[in-house]
């Protein structure tokens, strides 16, 4: 990924507080267009709070968040999809009693370009054939891996500029994770900018162009794909030992 590519998502000095308790201490983070950026760290490191701030679910107490160079710091959550951000949240949050089709229709709400709806659906059907095969089935009947595919498909049909993934491998069997990572590789090949928040350090570092390590609300290290094999480095980065 050329380092000169324009930035798609930028966080500058972003601080998040829950009352008096700081969760994120003024972090800087950049995803350039077409880049996959990893964000790893132990539980409570501030990863999900960072995503919540990006999506407008919590208001940062300081700093600026820019999408394609335009500040979205004060934009409401419901405007984010149409601004070009899509989130696959931790725990998937599909609508289990809705059909697969209805879940996808909700994803289409955020589209800026209504004309491209059919192409967007066709594109995710190709990527995740189960979403076409089980289109009329209730989403809650799908397996965990299939539900994760649906959650990613639902995010993609909105036609985002940046795809945010929060712990997509959580609760999935290793084989299912491998399939999902294959799909993410294809999404990357199509030029999507991805911010991947994960606890699985090795997997993320190997996959992402660049991985930030977060601990106690701060970014403490940036890792390159080659660092994925250095278990000692990963362990010390993760736990601060």
Partner 1 sequence: MRFAQTLIDALALGALFALVAMGVSLLFGVMRLVNFAYGEIITAGAYALLLTKGMATPARITVTLTVTIVMAALINLVLRPFRTVPPPTALIATFALSFLLQNLAILWFGTQGAAMEFLPALNQAFTIGEVRIRWITLASLLMGVVLVGAMALILRRTDIGLQMRAAAADFTMARILGVRSNRVIAVAFLATGFLAGAVTLALAVQRPLVTPSYGFNVLVPALVGVVVGGLDRLVAGTMGGFFVGFATVLLGQFLPPDARVFLNSALFAVVIVVLLVKPNGLFVRHTKGFERV
**Residue nearer to partner 1 on the CB measure, 28 or 74:** 74
Q: For residue 192, how many other CB atoms are within 10 A of its CB?
A: 20
**Shortest reach from residue 80's CB to partner 1, in Å:** 7
DSSP characters over 168-234: TTTT--HHHHHHHHHHHHHHHHTT-EEEEEES-HHHHHHHSSEEEEEETTEEEEEE-GGGGG-HHHH
Shortest separation between residue 22's beta carbon and partner 1, angstroms: 22
Residue closer to partner 1, measured from CB, 103 or 204: 103
Question: Which has the closest alpha carbon to 222: 206, 232, 211, 233?
Answer: 211
Residue whose CB is less far from partner 1, 25 or 105 = 105
Q: Which is nearer to partner 1, 140 or 240 (CB)?
A: 140
In the complex, least distance from residue 155 CB atom to partner 1, rounded to whole angstroms: 9
Q: Furthest-apart CA pair in the chain: how many Å?
A: 53
Q: How far apart are CA 22 and CA 79, in angstroms?
A: 26
Contact 163, 156 (CB under 8 A): yes
**Nearest distance from C-beta of residue 5 to partner 1, angstroms:** 26
CA gap 201, 218 in Å, rounded: 17
State the minimum distance, in angstroms, from the CB of residue 70 to partner 1. 18
Residues found near partner 1 in the complex (CB under 8 A): 55, 57, 76-82, 87, 89, 93, 95-98, 102, 105-107, 109-110, 140, 154, 158
Closer residue to partner 1 (CB): 44 or 96:
96
């Amino acid at each position: 990924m050329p380092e000169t590519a324009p930035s798609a998502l930028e966080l500058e000095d972003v601080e998040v507080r829950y009352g008096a308790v700081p969760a994120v201490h003024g972090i800087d983070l950049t995803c350039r267009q077409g880049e996959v950026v990893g964000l790893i760290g132990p539980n409570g490191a501030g990863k999900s709070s960072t995503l919540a701030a990006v999506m407008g679910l919590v208001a940062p107490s300081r700093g600026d968040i820019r999408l394609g160079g335009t500040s979205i710091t004060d934009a409401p959550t419901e405007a984010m999809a149409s601004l070009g951000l899509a989130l696959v949240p931790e725990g998937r949050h599909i609508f289990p009693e809705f059909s697969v089709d209805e879940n996808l229709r909700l994803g289409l709400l955020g589209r800026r370009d209504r004309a491209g709806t059919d192409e967007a659906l066709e594109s995710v059907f190709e990527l995740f054939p189960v979403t076409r095969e089980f289109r009329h089935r209730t989403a809650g009947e799908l397996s965990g891996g299939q539900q994760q595919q649906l959650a990613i498909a639902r995010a993609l049909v909105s036609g985002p500029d940046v795809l945010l993934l929060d712990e997509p491998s959580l609760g999935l069997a290793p084989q299912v994770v491998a399939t999902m990572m294959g799909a993410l590789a294809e999404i990357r090949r199509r030029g999507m900018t991805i911010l991947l928040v994960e606890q699985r350090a090795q997997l993320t570092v190997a996959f992402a162009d660049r991985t930030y390590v977060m601990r106690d609300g701060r970014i403490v290290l940036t890792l390159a794909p080659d660092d994925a094999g250095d278990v000692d480095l990963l362990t010390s980065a993760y736990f601060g030992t």
